[in-house]
């Protein structure tokens, strides 16, 4: 009888261990999915010959191909500021598309900052302030 109880406990422990392993795998999969869909907000400054060439209009045009929200504006010091919000993969792809567009010849430097507070915007617009 004690052998039967011992065998039953061993089987239960084995099933519990297997179940925990599956739960861990599901957790890791869910975590990876969550990380790829994590929302981020970034502020990006572009320096170079970035004003008076249609830079903002071009950035807004590129943004139409991505699921991002935000805005772009000229700064008094000659730079262009962009703020963008979306899933991290989508934001990164959008910024890469801007960097690989015809604008690349005008960009001398790009500086990126992560915004702690999520950007609240609808669509993607050119700001004039």
By annotation, the residues acting in catalysis are 56, 74
Contact of 118 with 39, CB cutoff 8 Å:
yes
Q: CB 109: neighbour CB atoms within 10 A?
A: 10
Rounded distance between C-alpha atoms, residue 36 and residue 32, angstroms: 6
H/E element, 63: helix 55-63
Contact of 113 with 120, CB cutoff 8 Å:
no
Instruction: Return the closest-CA partner of residue 118 out of 60, 39, 59, 44.
Output: 39
Return the beta strands (E) in 49-128 as ranges.
69-74, 80-87, 107-114, 124-126
């Amino acid at each position: 009888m004690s052998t039967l109880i011992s065998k039953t406990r061993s089987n239960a422990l084995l099933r519990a261990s297997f179940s925990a392993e599956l739960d861990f795998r599901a957790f890791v999969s869910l975590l990876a999915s969550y990380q790829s869909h994590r929302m981020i907000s970034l502020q990006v400054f572009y320096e170079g010959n970035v004003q008076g060439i249609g830079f903002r209009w071009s950035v807004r045009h590129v943004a139409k191909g991505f699921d991002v929200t935000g805005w772009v504006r000229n700064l008094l010091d000659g730079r262009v500021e962009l703020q963008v919000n979306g899933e991290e993969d989508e934001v990164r792809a959008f910024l890469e598309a801007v960097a690989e567009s015809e604008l690349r010849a005008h960009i001398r430097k790009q500086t990126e900052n992560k915004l702690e507070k999520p950007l609240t915007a609808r669509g993607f617009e050119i700001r004039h302030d």
